[in-house]
């Protein structure tokens, strides 16, 4: 689990938008989409389904994977998740922790 103080400091490095910690259901949706080849990195590369969490940008189009408890905040490693409509599901899911700075 990520430390709350660390989460409060993190924003999207590309847009400086707030991030939300994805809940278990959202993480599984992202993982399955990566496995199915539906989600690639923002750089257009094939994404690796090796992460246990994700920080989703406020607009729901980008997710930064969390590997071994460490958020990978590199834009080129971010996952293009706009097709998954995470912003809507995150707003309806009380298991998603909102992070603001």
H-helix or E-strand containing 58?
A: none
Distance separating alpha carbons of residues 52 and 83, to the nearest angstrom: 20
Mean predicted confidence (pLDDT) in 53-62: 96
Which tens digits make up the pLDDT trace of 15-29? 999 999 999 999 999
Q: Which two tokens stand for residue 16?
A: 């400086």
Q: How far is CA 8 from CA 3, 21, 45, in A?
A: 9, 11, 29
Percent of the chain's residues with pLDDT above 70? 84
Examine the pLDDT at 7 and tell me if it is beyond 60: yes
Examine the pLDDT at 90 and tell me if it is beyond 50: no
Please tell me what DSSP assigns to residue 46: B
Examine the pLDDT at 94 and tell me if it is beyond 50: no
The pTM of the whole model exceeds 0.75: yes
Q: Which pLDDT value is given to residue 89?
A: 44
């Amino acid at each position: 689990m990520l430390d709350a103080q660390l989460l409060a400091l993190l924003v999207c490095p590309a847009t400086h938008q707030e991030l939300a910690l994805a809940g278990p259901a959202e993480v599984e949706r992202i993982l399955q989409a990566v496995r199915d080849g539906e989600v690639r990195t923002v750089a257009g590369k094939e994404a690796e389904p090796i992460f246990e969490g994700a920080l989703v940008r406020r607009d729901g189009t980008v997710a930064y994977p969390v590997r071994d408890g460490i958020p990978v905040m590199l834009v080129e490693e971010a996952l293009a998740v706009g097709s998954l409509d995470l912003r809507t599901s995150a707003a309806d899911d009380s298991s998603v922790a909102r992070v603001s700075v």
